[in-house]
Amino acid sequence: MIAQATTEGTISSPSSKDPVLLEVEQLTVAFGRQVVLRGINVQIRRGETVAILGESGCGKTVFLKTLVALQRPTKGRVLFDGRDLFQLRPHELAEQRIRMGFVFQQAALFDSMTIGENIAFPLRQHTRLTEDEIYEVVKARLLEVGLPENVLRKKPGEISGGMRKRVGLARALALEPELMLYDEPTTGLDPIMSDVINELILRTRRQHPVTSVIVTHDMRTATKVADRIIMLYPLTRLKPGESQILYDGPASEIESAADDRVIQFVRGEARERLMEMAREESENAVEIGGAAHG
Amino acid sequence: MSQIVAKSPNGLPGVPGGLLNNFAQWVADIGARTMEWTIGLGSISLFFGRTLRWLVTKRPRRETILWNFYQIGVLSLPVVALTGTFVGMVLAVQSYAQFKMLNLETRLGAVINMSLVRELGPVLAATMLAGRVGSAMAAELGTMRVTEQIDALSVMGADPIHYLVVPRFLACLFLIPALTLMADFMGVVGGYYYSVYLLNIDAYYYLQNSANYVGWFDLAAGTFKTLFFGAAIAIVGCHHGFHCDPGAEGVGRAATYAFVHSFVMILLLDLILGIGLDALYNVLFPQGPRLV
């Protein structure tokens, strides 16, 4: 079903003429004294699929959470369709959030509800549809993510991790959002299920006119699904004036990036980190030896 | 060794070692603790304010109200009834010997029932509910926080305070007084049963003394206090759940602190309200009946 879907329709490539949907200006996020993101500037156009790539701890999930105002920045602003999300009143922010869909890393399904109730939740909150109409939409969304109707009555704890992620996707799609945000959509899944999720993201883009931002450290997801990649680097490894964005360009050209650190990440080469670990180990050994003799 | 001492996290830069350093560290610790408490107090006050604002601006959904009323009210009934019954009986056991010495055992009814409706019924029922309901709310909401379910509510345009806290707050506010009345009733029954059937106190004088000394004001005052206990249990429990640290340890700590802090709040409110209600009683009934 999914293989068939890949041949359906075409994905129109976004061009620089498309209007900007998301604009991040001088974004800085700090937790106490620990600065995680510093001076990030990003523009995302309507229809684009952008992968935010980076190693663990580089702040990519924090970045994604600022895009839906789940994380307040220390400095800077996030404009969604021209509105600064952090200047909005709570009900105005809620209205803007209805235009977004967020797929959480662990799906974040409400475990007191059935799968059907989970997918129906945004519809019950924000539409005046009858229960029969809601049931039809829920069934359609479930089929879209390739799940059978009999899972509707199950609780999230009774289905596999891959199925939970697909239900999370179905729930995020329930209100047909303009912007889809994915937090590590393939983390913790086997390669086959990862590929299924990648195909579903592509299919979502074909069937709905959405802009997507995908946070991942999975190169396969980034190159297969995205048309643009932004690579973030941990601040602790950067020099004071250096930009945290090491690469911002087409997904197809990331392997020929000029920065060695990008290439190392793309190829999964840990040489420098291994050398650092060895150096730290030898320093610790000297310190322990010195303390024992002192 | 000297290197290790120099790296100690307790050492303050620029302060000479020894006694002065320890004193400076002590002052810094007090300062840090004071700030922590002030921030905590501010956070819970804002949380309470947001809950009250949602309470008056938008009605919660019927199904969330019913589910929470059932969980908090109906399922707490057996434990509260059991607490009340035993408190009534234990009061009879403990007071009998002293009153017997003074040949005042028929006054036991007044003592047991007065203690029950004014103080022990409300406080012990609220304590039981802080353990059963407050901890459960903190653990449930804490798990939702850790597994990003609260964030999921926000991104779907549903306010978590309106959706999760308001129904729990209403359930505690309305049902904890109702449960306290149940505890009072069972306590009265338990005390009567033990005094009349096991200690052979005359039933007529037992009831007569109760009726003479325990009035509607006592029952109303005891029940009125539980409105505040209920609100405190809900707000403290939900606040700890919402601000839960990550992991199983964080959820466990949230549940424990929810109980401990609710309990402290119950005792504190009981003292303040007790003083206030006693003053009100003296104003309303200056010639009211006194046990002594």
Residue ranges of domains in chain B: 50-284
Residue corresponding to tokens 């996707």: A169
Residue spans of the domains in chain A: they are: 2-293
How many Cα atoms occupy the beta-carbon half-sphere of B28 within 13 Å?
Answer: 12
Contact A98 B151 (CB under 8 A): no
Q: How far is B93 from chain A (nearest CA, A)?
A: 45
Partner-chain contact A68 B4, CB within 8 Å: no
Nearest CB to B155 within list A102, A105, A110: A102
Among B144, B149, B157, the residue with its CB nearest the CB of A97 is: B157
Cβ contacts of B157 on chain A, cutoff 8 Å: 94-95, 97-98, 122, 125-126
Q: Which residues of A touch B158 (CB under 8 A)?
A: 94, 121, 125
Per-residue pLDDT tens, chain B, 292 aa: give them: 334 344 444 445 555 567 888 899 999 999 999 999 999 999 999 999 999 999 999 888 888 899 999 999 999 999 999 999 999 999 999 889 888 888 888 888 898 999 999 999 999 999 999 999 999 999 999 999 999 999 999 999 899 999 999 999 999 999 999 999 999 999 999 999 999 999 888 999 899 988 888 888 899 999 999 999 999 999 999 999 999 999 999 999 999 999 999 999 999 999 999 999 989 988 888 776 555 4
The tokens for A119 are 């997918």
Query: At the topology level of CATH, where does A2-293 sit?
Result: Rossmann fold (3.40.50)
Please, are residues A168 and A108 in contact by the beta-carbon 8 Å criterion? yes
Q: Is the dihedral of CA A234, A76, A178, A117 positive or negative?
A: positive
What residue type is assigned to position B112 of the chain?
I
A58 backbone dihedrals φ, ψ, rounded to 5°: -85, -5
Residues A110, B156: C-beta atoms closer than 8 Å: no
In total, chain A counts a number of residues equal to 294
Q: Using an 8 Å Cβ cutoff, are A80 and A96 in contact?
A: yes
Q: Do B159 and A126 touch (CB under 8 A)?
A: no
Nearest-Cα distance to chain A for B173, in Å, is 23
A109–B157 CB contact, under 8 Å:
no
Q: Which among B148, B151, B158 has the least Cβ separation from residue A125?
A: B158
Check CB contact of B147 with chain A, cutoff 8 Å.
yes
Alpha-carbon distances, residue A241 vs A4, A35, A235, A238, A247 (angstroms):
49, 14, 10, 8, 16
pLDDT at A6: 39
Locate the chain B residue with the closest alpha carbon to A69: B155
Residue B149 contacts A, CB cutoff 8 Å: yes
pLDDT of A78 higher than 70: yes
Q: How far apart are CA A95 and CA A83, in angstroms?
A: 12
**Inter-chain contact B156–A109, Cβ cutoff 8 Å?**
no
Bridge-based pairing state of the strands A20-31 and A75-80:
antiparallel
Q: Please state the pTM of the whole predicted model.
A: 0.83
Tokens for A78? 């996030």
